[in-house]
Structure 1
Amino acid sequence: MLTRRLLLGAIAIAPLAACQSIQQPPQAAAEADPYAGWYIGSMPDKPHNVPLVDRSRMDPKYARQTVAYNGPEKPGSIVVDIDERMLYLVQADNKAIRYGVGVGKQGFSWKGTATVGRKGVWPAWSPTTTMVSLKPDLPRHVEAGLDNPLGARALYLHQNGADTLFRIHGTNEPWSIGEQVSSGCVRMLNEDIVDLYERVPVGTTVYVKRNGRYRV
């Protein structure tokens, strides 16, 4: 089981991420320990175990599941629907694996077509130049670990060989799944991003759409 210290540490640094925006857990003011109740244990991983979320606290529709899918994208593609707060990994036979996600708040969401330019296991984080200009007191680097807001894995989205600075990554704010609160990136539960990471290679096409469209 995760200790209370680790759980609190995993969340304390959440507002530092370029892809994240702080959001308090539900009923935080009413609970003496609002964070620990979100976790029920851990999943073995290296170099850190992955915190497991108590899914009973979440809307069941955001649980990872296989669903019918009739979109035009080829099997193996990732489709993020900003409006639905869902990510689809397209499968053969008109199926997809669907994951609940958190997305960018109004005015920050990105849409378009990209590829997975690289993948990271327990990635480190550094703020963008824009983030530093807005918040000069931000640390310039945060090492990988439970206190890193990018979580257990990250998929880095590229266009024309260049980093877009948008990612699909884990989160230590599980209550934000299904919400529109980040600074643009797509966040997933850590156990879900680990699952997705293992299923997709570098070069995977990613479609991020809003209002049913991903073409800008």
Structure 2
Amino acid sequence: MIVRRFLVLGLMGASLAACQTAQMPPQSVASADPYAGWYVGAVEDKPFNIPIVDRRKMEPQYARQVVEYKGMEKPGSIVVDIDDKHLYLVQPDQKAIRYGVGVGKQGFSWKGVASVGRKGVWPAWSPTKTMVRIKPDLPSYREAGLDNPLGARALYLYQNGGDTLFRIHGTNEPWSIGEQVSSGCVRMLNEDVADLYDRVPVGTTVYVKRNGRHRV
């Protein structure tokens, strides 16, 4: 029932996603219910359970896994590789936990060094001025929920004490992982962003890069 509720709400909210795209699921899974087959259960969470994606629907390289890491960033740092569509949480001994992500559309991706200024569990969402300018009919506010564009968790990226308006957050569009689809934010599967959220504190350094893991 939890999964089905998510699917129904997702149909209402997919077109409203922050860092959004109008992209639909791959044709191979499109049907009368375009969300059919993407979910295999749910993990208990509050105030909503987190729907779990059937990883067989995704490319294997975007599955969460521990990998070798040769970058110079300190353990505990987050590194987002825009070109590879991966996020790395650097670990000791030249290892990293790697997650698949969706990134900004051409011309929308942000890169630089930031920090996690705050964290949110099932956060509410409001569009930025840029989003409203591009799509004036966007709602001004979206409460937390299974159809919320920020998903189950959000990490808010700050520079020099100010909000950049870019986030690392969950998504209700799992087929967008590994794609350039957003308005600049980094989107993750809800179960992955919940895992990352529990591993990193406020103040964590975040590097968003292009062309590999060794330079910003």
Per the normalisation by structure 1, the TM-score is 0.94
| In 1: Cα distance, 2:40 partner to 2:151 partner | 17
Q: Which residue of 2 aligns with 1:24?
A: 24
Q: Is the 8 A contact 1:66 1:96 kept in 2?
A: yes
| In 2: Cα distance, 1:30 partner to 1:127 partner | 28
Q: Is the 8 A contact 1:91 1:97 kept in 2?
A: yes
User: Which stretches in structure 1 are left out of the alignment for 5+ residues?
Assistant: none
Percentage of matched positions with identical amino acids? 76
| In 1: Cα distance, 2:11 partner to 2:200 partner | 27
| In 2: Cα distance, 1:37 partner to 1:83 partner | 28
Secondary structure of 2:6 counterpart: helix
Q: Which residue of 2 aligns with 1:87?
A: 87
Secondary structure of 2:2 counterpart: coil
Q: Which residue of 2 aligns with 1:141?
A: 141
Could you tell me which amino acid in structure 2 is paired with residue 10 of structure 1?
G
131-140 or 158-167, larger mean C-alpha shift: 131-140
Q: 1:158 to 1:176 in 2, by over 3 A?
A: same
Report how far residue 103 of structure 1 moved.
0.5
Q: Which residue of 1 aligns with 2:131?
A: 131
Deviations 1:146-177 (A, max 9, x none): 01011000000000000001000000100111
Q: How does 1:70-81 map to 2 (within 5 A)?
A: 70-81=70-81
Q: Is the 8 A contact 1:119 1:154 kept in 2?
A: yes
Deviations 1:26-59 (A, max 9, x none): 1178522220310111100000000100001111
Q: Is the 8 A contact 1:208 1:214 kept in 2?
A: no
| In 1: Cα distance, 2:195 partner to 2:126 partner | 24
Deviations 1:97-116 (A, max 9, x none): 00000100111111000000
Q: Is the 8 A contact 1:114 1:207 kept in 2?
A: yes
Secondary structure of 1:8 counterpart: helix
Could you tell me which amino acid in structure 1 is paired with residue 34 of structure 2?
P
Could you tell me which amino acid in structure 2 is paired with residue 88 of structure 1?
Y
Q: Is the 8 A contact 1:113 1:214 kept in 2?
A: no
Matching of residue 159 in structure 1 with residue 159 in structure 2: yes
Could you tell me which amino acid in structure 2 is paired with residue 63 of structure 1?
A
Q: Which residue of 1 aligns with 2:173?
A: 173
Q: Is the 8 A contact 1:28 1:34 kept in 2?
A: no
Q: How does 1:1-216 map to 2 (within 5 A)?
A: 1-27=1-27, 30-212=30-212, 215=216
Report how far residue 12 of structure 1 moved.
2.8
Q: 1:184 to 1:214 in 2, by over 3 A?
A: farther
71-80 or 11-20, larger mean C-alpha shift: 11-20
| In 2: Cα distance, 1:153 partner to 1:214 partner | 27
Deviations 1:63-86 (A, max 9, x none): 100001010000000000001000
Give the count of matched residue pairs: 215
